[in-house]
Amino acid sequence: MNELAKRVSVAIFGIPLAIILILKGDVYFSFAILILSLVSMYEFQNLFASKEIKINKLISNSFNVSVFLLIIAFLNFKISTFNPNWYIAVFHCIILIFATIVYLNQLWSKEKEPILATASTLFSFFYITIPFVSLLIIRNIELISLNINSITTDNVFNSAKAGFIVLTFFISIWSCDSFAYFIGRKFGKHKLFPRHSPKKSWEGAIAGFIGSILAFYILNIVFSINLKPIHSIFLGTLIGILGQMGDLFESNLKRWAEIKDSSNLIPGHGGFLDRFDSIIFTSPLILVYLILVSL
C-alpha cells in the first residue's frame, strides 16, 4: 500500500471517529484526549532519548495522568459553579509540586546530563500536558463559571456549541495546513525558514493564515455557534499564526533529533505529534482568550 492509500485509509476511519468524539464530549472525549496525551508524551520522550537525554517517564507520565483525572473529575461531575480562580490556584500548586519532585529526583540522578534530563522532564509538562488539558477544558468550558454567553450574538452558549468550537478549531487547523501545502507547492518561491523547514514558503504560510481565518469565520456561521464576528476572526488569526509556529517547532525538534517522523503509529502520517503539533501550540492561547473575554 503506497503512502497516499495509507493516508486515505486513516482519514476514512480517523476523521469520523474524531468528529463523533468531539461532538459527543463527556468522558468519551476526556479519556480520548488523555490517551492522545500519553501517546504524544511517549513520542516526545523518545525524541529526547534519541539524543541520550532520558526524561523521567515515571514522573512525567504520573503527573500527566494526575492532572487529567483532576480536571476530568471537576468537569464531568458538573461542578458548574467552580470558579476559574480555583483552576489557576490548583494549576500553580501542581506545577510547584511537579517542579519540586523533578528537582529532588535530579539530586539523586545517575544520568550523564542530569540538568538536561531535568529540564526536558519539566518541558514535557508544558509542551504535552498543558495543551491537551487546555483542549479538554475548551470542550467543557460551558461548565466553568464564566460569562461565556457574552461572546455570542444570541447570548446562548451550551455544550453543543463548545463541541462545535473544538470541531471548528480542528477544521481550521486542517484548512491552514491544506492551504499552505497546496498554495505553497504551486506558487511558493520565497522560503519561510529554510534552515528549519526547507519546503515551507512565505506564500504557503500566508495562504494558510488566510485559510484558517476563512474556515473559522464560515464554520462559525454554518455550525450556528454564533460567536460575534470579531471573536471568530481573532480565533482564526490565532490558529493561523500559532498553528504554523507549532508545526515549525515540531520540525525543529525532529531535525534536532535527526528523525523524519515522531513515530510510525499512524500509517502514512507519522506520529501523533506530527498530526497534533499545531493544536499543541494553539489550544492554551485559545483557552486563555475565551477566559479573558468572558470574565
Q: Show the beta-strand stretches assigned E in the chain.
A: 191-193, 197-201
SS3 39: helix
SS3 191: strand
Distances (CA, A) of 241 to 16, 91, 141: 27, 26, 23
Alpha carbons 56 and 119: distance in angstroms, whole number: 10
Buried b (16+ CB within 10 A) or exposed e, 30-57: bbbbbebbbbbbbbbbbbbeeeebbbbe
Residue 124: half-sphere exposure toward Cβ, Cα within 13 Å: 35
pLDDT, averaged across the chain: 85
SS3 227: strand
- pLDDT greater at residue 212 or residue 101: 212
Q: Which range, 105-109, 111-115, 131-135, 179-183, is most confident?
A: 131-135
Which pLDDT belongs to residue 22?
Answer: 93
- Is the entire prediction scored with pTM above 0.95? no
